[in-house]
Homo-oligomer: A and B are copies of this chain.
């Protein structure tokens, strides 16, 4: 059985999106800085049908992650496109386009029941029964590979709170956003010891891994 890994980009001050998300800035003010590190990478571009990306240490991190994932769990807003009010349309899904880059089963945690669908190489299932059910289905789908909990913050927090998350993979972008959506809001997440699992660094981002000690 694979691991359950929360894998998320975050600012140095702990935000997964900047303040004042809007239609023009779905990741909030400055929030795009959190993800700049990934867009130019060869592995990421290839998943979007583009060639000629960077083959850096950051690319190695993404390639390894893509090889490990057997299923992805994410929140409805991350699936449907940002945190603004347009994201409240449960039928949205335009964020990832017609060929989402995941290419493994995606389990979207939502309050809105919806039929499963398949977009190109990515099957999507909408789970209304809560995080434990979503993680359980993802685990079954992933087989021996890992389950990636991709965000947003609420889903990552719920996964931590279940005690089922094995690892925390943070991609720390070199920016202070000064506000926004905190990954760790400090209002009820249980304390946990972590074990250092290694750092990979580049000027663009610092990848830090921890194992959750049970």
Contacts and interface: CB of A to CB of B under 8 A. Distances in A.
Interface residues of A, number: 42
Interface string A176-192: 11111011101111111
A41 interface: no
A30 interface: yes
A110 interface: no
A186 B29 CA distance: 13
Interface stretch (A9-17, A71-79, A142-150): A9-17
A176 B180 contact: no
A189 B176 contact: yes
A201 interface: yes
Interface of A: 12-15, 18, 29-30, 33, 160, 168, 170, 172, 174-180, 182-184, 186-196, 198-199, 201-204, 206, 208, 210
B203 A196 contact: yes
A94 to B, nearest CB: 28
A201 B191 contact: no
B186 A179 contact: yes
Contacts of A29: 191
A196 B201 contact: yes
Contact of A30 (B13, B191, B208): B191
A124 to B, nearest CB: 30
A55 to B, nearest CB: 19
A19 to B, nearest CB: 8
